[in-house]
Structure 1
Amino acid sequence: MIACLGETTGERALKYMREKMIESNEGAEILRDLPRINSQTVCFKTLAEMPQNTLGRVYADFMRDNNITADSRLPVQFIEDVELAYVMQRYREVHDLVHATLFMKTTMLGEVTIKWVEGIQTQLPMCIGGGIWGATRLKTKHRKLYLNQYLPWAIKTGLNAKFMQGIYFEKRWEQDIDDYHKEMNIKTLVV
């Protein structure tokens, strides 16, 4: 249902995302190449054997630690424009990379935080709604952390970081995660 909601309410945001991608060489290259992130295109065994502090290893470890498969993202069904459908599919496939590179767990607190970063960057209504409504489900202890640390960090990251949907992650597996953070203007959350 969330996937359907994202597709049926996101046309304006998808056009915005496509324009943001076109603004950078890397994003434009993604739109030309149309890469996919799944178990057929990414060798997680190879990524898991990379040095500890590489983007590829961070991603592989995140997927393993959270028992997530890159094949769990549904294909886009309700967007007729082929390029916009790809932008939505790319958003879905990059979601776990955003989690991994921001060191954000898949807990409710982590998901709500990532939804704010994504909502600010993509303008997708489902992300903005997830950030707002998901926060209402936080327990008291987490709500305090959220309001005092996670939400301010998410807003700052969403506004200041480079557009993450325009990052050609597949060509950056060997990049040092600290160098990636510097290049993307990302400051990690310290709690």
Structure 2
Amino acid sequence: MLVKTLRTQKRNFIVTPLLAVLGSIFNSESNQLANKMASGKLHYKDPNAKFNNSKSFLQRAEPKYPGHIPLYNFEKLLMFLGSSVGSYFHPERNEFIVGLGESTALPVVLRSLQRKMLSDKVGREILKDKPRITSTSLDLEYLRSLPENTIGNNYIKWLDREGVSPDTRVPVRYIDDPELAYIFQRYRECHDFYHSVTGLPIIIEGEIAVKVFEFMNIGIPMSGLGALFAPLRLKPSQKERLYNIYYPWAFSSGLNSKPLINVYWEKILTKDVNEFREEMNIEQPPDLRNLRRDYHEKLKKRKQLAP
């Protein structure tokens, strides 16, 4: 009986402290859980947490500059395909040309232009100032007051003759890097200066010739694509003028002239346009409107003489 009593006391001596320890642990954890619940810090593992805490593949990135619209790669591909077809069948529609230009303005090409600008004193100045070419920034009435053979007067006369305005160049929206977007914007806004300096009009042959000239000098892919596919829809007489006269001129002048992207047009408006062509090594091509007029007059006479 005494032995049994001693065993019971020994068991109680061991079990009681053990239960006390376990109880304190349990109560401590319960208190901690209760405190977390009271403070709103208690969270169970959410099986959707990895999706909620990471960006969804459909979540669009934040714009990097005013007007910027970030696109996914598949959207850029769709824009390229749609604008390519649209530009081929409707080259007169600006939205297709704009979409094709930005969807093919690859970062590697724009960074090459960036390096070209950074390696040149005037190019660095342009990137620092980031000027825009608009009817306000240029003051078109001032350009009309300049001497006749200046770059500025030559430019405004070309604008008036072709019935266009520098304000028609839409802002870049789909290029992600802000400085690369500006470089493409600069290229886009300088396009009319290339027309005015070369004298080529805004008709399909003139546009193609200027695009080839730009591609050989600046390297924007859209210009090269225009040279490949745009002539396919031209008449035989138009193709003949392009292939025999304007393509050879564009290849030669584009390759041999200094980089046009580094021209600060706003600061040379009073410069003589012929001196500028000579300095840049740009040969002025034959007058396209005169060639077209001569062709149609000959065609008219031939029809009149035909029995």
**TM-score scaled to structure 2, two decimals?**
0.60
1:7 and 2:102 matched: yes
| Partner residue in 2 for 1:76 | 172
| Partner residue in 2 for 1:172 | 268
Task: Tell which deviates more after alignment, 130-139 or 144-153.
Answer: 130-139
1:2 shift after superposition: 2.1
The alignment partner of 2:166 has SS state of coil
The alignment partner of 1:71 has SS state of helix
Q: Distance in 1 between matches of 2:108 and 2:217?
A: 13
The answer to whether the 8 A contact 1:75-1:89 is kept is yes
1:161 and 2:226 matched: no
Q: 5 Å matches for 1:33-182?
A: 33-182=129-278
| Partner residue in 1 for 2:286 | 190
Q: Distance in 2 between matches of 1:18 and 1:96?
A: 21
Cα deviation digits, residues 2-39 of structure 1 (max 9, x gap): 21222222122211111122222111110111000002
Aligned length: 191
Which structure is higher in helix share? 2
The alignment partner of 2:168 has SS state of coil
Please list every run of 5 or more consecutive structure 1 residues that lacks an aligned counterpart in the other structure: none
Structure with higher RCO (Cα < 8 A, 6+ apart): 1
RMSD between aligned residues: 1.1
Query: Which one of the candidate residues 98, 112, 120 is aligned to 1:16?
Result: 112
Q: Distance in 2 between matches of 1:45 and 1:136?
A: 40
Q: Distance in 1 between matches of 2:233 and 2:126?
A: 36
Q: Which amino acid aligns with 2:210?
A: I
Cα deviation digits, residues 30-58 of structure 1 (max 9, x gap): 01110000022111111012111000001
Q: Distance in 2 between matches of 1:160 and 1:79?
A: 29
**TM-score scaled to structure 1, two decimals?**
0.96
Q: Distance in 2 between matches of 1:190 and 1:71?
A: 28
Q: Which amino acid aligns with 1:21?
A: M
Q: Distance in 2 between matches of 1:135 and 1:19?
A: 32
| Partner residue in 1 for 2:12 | none
Task: Tell which deviates more after alignment, 129-138 or 66-75.
Answer: 129-138
Structure whose CA Rg is larger: 2
Q: Which runs of 4+ in 1 moved over 3 A?
A: none
The answer to whether the 8 A contact 2:218-2:260 is kept is no
The alignment partner of 2:202 has SS state of coil
